[in-house]
């Protein structure tokens, strides 16, 4: 089906209902989308659009922009019109910006019923405006913005507390006949996050937006996101993902895309198989792998290149790849589909690999 690119996915996908975020379907077996959020001042239209273009080029499917002020809300019509991907307005506290975002043509609005004043009263109007505009909403809680009563009842942002809070919001929408929303229940701790989404997934068919919130800088945040998303996605839970890093947003997109690629949920791009090197290595594998990765980072064809430090595993691994090199005696054996096609001196390994890889990639794209 269209849900998994891999022939043998780890798990069948949980059956969620489908919503549209602009042109991007979320849920109901749609490909899992990658989201990020701009960190420019939204009202700085040029900077925001430039960052959105960069995110889209890196594989981002949906982008969210923060709307903390009137100037930001005023920038939305141009941003939504010029963005190459659907734009979600992220709104806290002020319900009037929600209506403005809907009028501005945003693909969706993220509202936090927990901190919108008098949400009981404005909620139905928001649903009505969204229905009329044909757009979707995202609701849900973060550990940090949990309803006070629920917090007190459970003594903290436990999975049960987060799920009860999210379901209370969902019911509020469903009671007025609104169903075009997805839910997030973010937590900064991967274990709590996984338990929370599992519980929520068992309670209904809402499409789920996965996130480990405030996951930390790139290194820690990447690990937390891989663990949490890996656990959930490998159980079939999750319809759209956002990796949160204290790093440039394009890094979030790269991590999100790779998680999906390695789980067989998105078409693979260039990938490298390289050995860790050991006392047997006859070439600087770490440097070689770095140069090959850098030299092929723009390749979109699903090519696999193997870089091996010696002939112990070299030929075997290289056979599994489209292209590989096994080094020894100051030379590199270039291997294509398991056959040695050329032997080059060590200083020619990288240029030869890059040239061959580009030729194979061009071939793949032509097919
Ligand atoms: Fe060591 Fe060779 Fe294996 Fe690389 S391929 S880790 S150099 S034995």
Q: Which ligand 1 atom sits nearest the alpha carbon of residue 309? A: 7
The model's pLDDT over 49-106, given as tens digits with 9 standing for 90+, comes to 999 999 999 999 999 999 999 999 999 999 999 999 999 999 988 889 999 999 999 9
pLDDT of the residue at 314: 65
Pocket probe for ligand 1: among 276, 308, 318, the residue whose CB has the most ligand atoms within 8 Å is: 308
Predicted local distance difference test score (pLDDT) of residue 2: 43
Name the band, by pLDDT with cuts 50, 70 and 90, for residue 338.
Answer: confident
pLDDT digits (tens, 9 = 90+) for 262-321: 999 998 888 999 989 999 888 899 999 999 999 998 888 999 999 988 877 766 777 778
Give the residue, out of 272, 309, 332, with the most ligand 1 atoms within 8 A of its beta carbon, to mutate for a pocket test. Answer: 309
Q: What is the pLDDT of residue 60?
A: 98
Residue 327, helix vs strand vs coil: strand
What pLDDT does 1 receive? 36
Ligand 1 proximity of 308 Cβ (cutoff 6 Å): yes
State the pLDDT at residue 119.
78
280 lines ligand 1 (CB under 6 A): yes
Q: What is the pLDDT of residue 255?
A: 96
> What is the average pLDDT value for the chain, to the nearest integer?
92
C-alpha–C-alpha distance, residues 253 and 54, integer Å = 10
Centroid of ligand 1 to alpha carbon of 238 (angstroms): 38
Residue 35 to residue 60: CA distance in whole angstroms:
6
Instruction: Report the residue among 273, 276, 278 best suited for mutation to probe ligand 1: largest number of ligand atoms under 8 A from its CB.
Output: 278
Ligand 1 atom index nearest CA of 310: 2
Residue 3 above 60 pLDDT?
Answer: no
Angle at 139 between CA 50 and CA 43, to 5 degrees: 30
Tokens of 267: 């078409």
- The CA distance from 70 to 63, in Å, is 20
pLDDT band at 7 (very low <50, low <70, confident <90, very high): low
Q: How far is the CA of 14 from the centre of ligand 1 (A)?
A: 41
Cα 73 to averaged position of ligand 1 atoms, centre (Å): 56
Q: What is the DSSP letter of 145?
A: G
Pocket test of ligand 1: the residue of 272, 274, 275, 333 to mutate, having most ligand atoms within 8 Å of its CB, is 275
Output the residue whose Cα is nearest ligand 1's atom 2. Answer: 310
Asked whether 283 lines ligand 1 (CB < 6 A), one says no
Ligand 1 atom at shortest distance from the alpha carbon of 279: 1
From the CB of 275, is ligand 1 less than 6 Å away?
A: yes
The arrangement of strands across the sheet holding 87-91 comes to 181-186, 136-142, 108-111, 87-91, 62-66, 33-37, 240-243, 209-212
Ligand 1 near 307 CB (within 6 A): no
C-beta 313 within 6 A of ligand 1: yes
The per-residue pLDDT for 5 is 67
CA distance 198 to 204: 11
Q: Are 141 and 165 in contact (CB under 8 A)?
A: yes
ipTM of the complex: 0.99
Confidence of residue 9 (pLDDT cuts 50, 70, 90): confident
Rounded distance, CA 252 to CA 92, Å? Answer: 22
Tell me, in angstroms, the distance from the centre of ligand 1 to residue 314's CA: 7
pLDDT digits over 144-198, tens only?
Answer: 778 888 989 999 899 999 999 999 999 999 999 999 999 999 889 999 999 999 9
For residue 314, which atom of ligand 1 is closest to its CA? Answer: 5
Flag whether pLDDT at 33 surpasses 70.
yes
Q: Tell me the CA distances in angstroms from 98 to 84, 92, 142, 200, 271, one per residue in order.
A: 22, 9, 19, 26, 42
330 CB neighbour count, 10 Å cutoff: 10
Ligand 1 centroid–CA 328 distance in Å is: 11
Which atom of ligand 1 sits closest to the CA of residue 281?
7
What confidence score (pLDDT) does residue 115 get?
Answer: 77
What is the distance between the alpha carbons of residues 244 and 221, in angstroms, rounded to a whole number? 7
């Amino acid at each position: 089906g269209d849900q998994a690119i891999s022939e043998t996915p780890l798990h069948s996908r949980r059956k969620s209902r489908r919503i549209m975020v602009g042109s991007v379907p979320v849920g109901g077996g749609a490909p899992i989308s990658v989201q990020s959020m701009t960190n420019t001042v939204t009202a700085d239209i040029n900077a925001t659009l430039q960052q959105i273009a960069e995110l889209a080029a890196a594989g981002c499917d949906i982008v969210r922009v923060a709307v903390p002020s009137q100037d930001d809300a005023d920038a939305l019509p141009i941003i939504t019109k010029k963005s190459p991907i659907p734009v979600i307005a992220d709104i806290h506290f002020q319900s009037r910006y929600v209506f403005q975002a809907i009028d501005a043509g945003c693909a969706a609005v993220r509202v936090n019923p927990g901190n919108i004043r008098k949400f009981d009263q404005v909620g139905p109007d928001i649903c009505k405006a969204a229905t009329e505009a044909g757009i979707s909403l995202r609701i849900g809680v973060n550990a940090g913005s949990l309803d006070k009563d629920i917090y007190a009842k459970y003594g903290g942002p436990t999975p049960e507390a987060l799920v009860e809070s999210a379901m209370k919001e969902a019911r509020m929408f469903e009671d007025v006949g609104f169903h075009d929303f997805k839910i997030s229940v973010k937590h900064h701790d991967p274990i709590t996050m996984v338990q929370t989404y599992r519980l929520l997934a068992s309670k209904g068919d809402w499409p789920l937006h996965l996130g480990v919130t405030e996951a930390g800088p790139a290194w820690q945040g990447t690990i937390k996101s891989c663990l949490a998303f890996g656990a959930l996605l490998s159980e079939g839970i999750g319809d759209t993902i956002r990796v949160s890093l204290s790093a440039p947003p394009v890094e979030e997109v790269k991590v999100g895309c790779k998680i999906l690629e390695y789980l067989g949920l998105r078409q693979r791009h260039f990938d490298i198989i390289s050995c860790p090197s050991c006392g047997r290595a006859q070439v600087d594998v770490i440097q070689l792998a770095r140069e090959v990765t850098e030299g092929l980072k723009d390749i979109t064809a699903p090519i696999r290149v193997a870089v091996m430090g010696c002939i112990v595993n070299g030929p075997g691994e290289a056979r599994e790849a489209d292209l590989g090199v096994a080094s020894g005696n100051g030379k590199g054996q270039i291997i294509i589909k398991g056959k040695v096609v050329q032997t080059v001196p060590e200083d020619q390994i990288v240029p030869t690999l890059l040239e061959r890889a580009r030729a194979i990639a061009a071939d793949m794209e032509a097919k």
